Structure 1
């Protein structure tokens, strides 16, 4: 597993994001959790400032950070502040948690590409936040839509790639 990389994103309820990313080419594993907030050991009932995020483990021989971001911007609405579907609040913000300057630069380029495409009704409000500790969510939230196939999600692939 030493050759695998990790990406950290948030785009609304973590259940739907995880379900869509788990089957993407090159994705090895996914885990939902809390990131970017104010307390250690956050929980579903106590995660001030944390986004409901997803940790994506991927094989860089099969995909890359840019392709992950491309899919990310196709499965959630990056133009709504602190909201996805019926979920409202900073926990549901659109965010990319970059781990280094290269990821930050790639994210900035992708946001410009998304905005220039005109596919969304406005510009992306996705925040770029430095990586902080990723705290795995409680077990009942992991693989939620696998366990409950008819569970709530507002995520779906809206259109094809932004990449040429």
Structure 2
């Protein structure tokens, strides 16, 4: 199994997308990239700990490649807004790829370069490439959040439309 750690805004949205992909074994919401040990959701929501809301994805690279994960990543969030996804604003919502090794870093750099050269987005990509640091799993109530709380107003208005769009675009890659 291989691991990817991605930040693309609210981890409820990111988890709801990636847990549906063939080849993804686990998708765990958490925090990475900050300076406070064992941060809580309340801590990171201040925007002062330096952490991003991330999803740690364990995947079978014989079924889905890191490149394919990044394709989903770039098509399911806005990588051109600095520290923001929709109404979620702050460094904890930044777009970032936390690379686990130099191969992942080089792949990510290549994809960003290609997307930029092809003018896929109207604005420059601001996705950060950051080395993996300590991963702190989010509190239990954040795990599998959309599946267990789909009627929550945020989920109904923000997560559900994103998941529905993802399922249409990536229908052939769904579990």
Q: Could you tell me the TM-score, scaled by structure 1's length?
A: 0.91
Question: 4+ residue stretches of structure 1 with deviation over 4 A?
Answer: 157-161
Q: What is residue 107 of structure 1 aligned with on the other side? A: 108
Q: What is residue 91 of structure 1 aligned with on the other side? A: 92
- Distance in 1 (CA, whole Å) between partners of 2:122 and 2:25 is 33
Q: What is residue 64 of structure 1 aligned with on the other side? A: 65
Q: What is residue 134 of structure 1 aligned with on the other side? A: 135
Residue 22 of structure 1 contacts residue 29 of structure 1 at CA under 8 Å; is this kept in 2?
yes
Provide the aligned C-alpha RMSD in A: 1.6
> What's the secondary structure of 1:8's corresponding residue?
strand
Residue 8 of structure 1 contacts residue 98 of structure 1 at CA under 8 Å; is this kept in 2?
yes
Residue 30 of structure 2 contacts residue 136 of structure 2 at CA under 8 Å; is this kept in 1?
yes
Q: What is residue 78 of structure 1 aligned with on the other side? A: 79
Answering whether residue 31 of structure 2 is matched by residue 15 of structure 1, we say no
> What's the secondary structure of 2:43's corresponding residue?
coil
Gaps of 5+ in 1: none
- Distance in 1 (CA, whole Å) between partners of 2:169 and 2:113 is 17
Q: What is residue 33 of structure 1 aligned with on the other side? A: 30
Q: What is residue 117 of structure 1 aligned with on the other side? A: 118
> What's the secondary structure of 1:45's corresponding residue?
helix
- Distance in 2 (CA, whole Å) between partners of 1:117 and 1:140 is 40
Cα deviation digits, residues 123-164 of structure 1 (max 9, x gap): 210000000011000011111101111332546247958xxx
Residue 3 of structure 2 contacts residue 100 of structure 2 at CA under 8 Å; is this kept in 1?
no
The count of residues paired between Structure 1 and Structure 2 equals 158
Q: Could you tell me the TM-score, scaled by structure 2's length?
A: 0.85
- Distance in 1 (CA, whole Å) between partners of 2:50 and 2:5 is 16
- Distance in 2 (CA, whole Å) between partners of 1:82 and 1:115 is 19
Residue 33 of structure 1, CA deviation? 0.2
Residue 99 of structure 1, CA deviation? 1.0
Cα deviation digits, residues 44-76 of structure 1 (max 9, x gap): 011310000000010011011111011000000
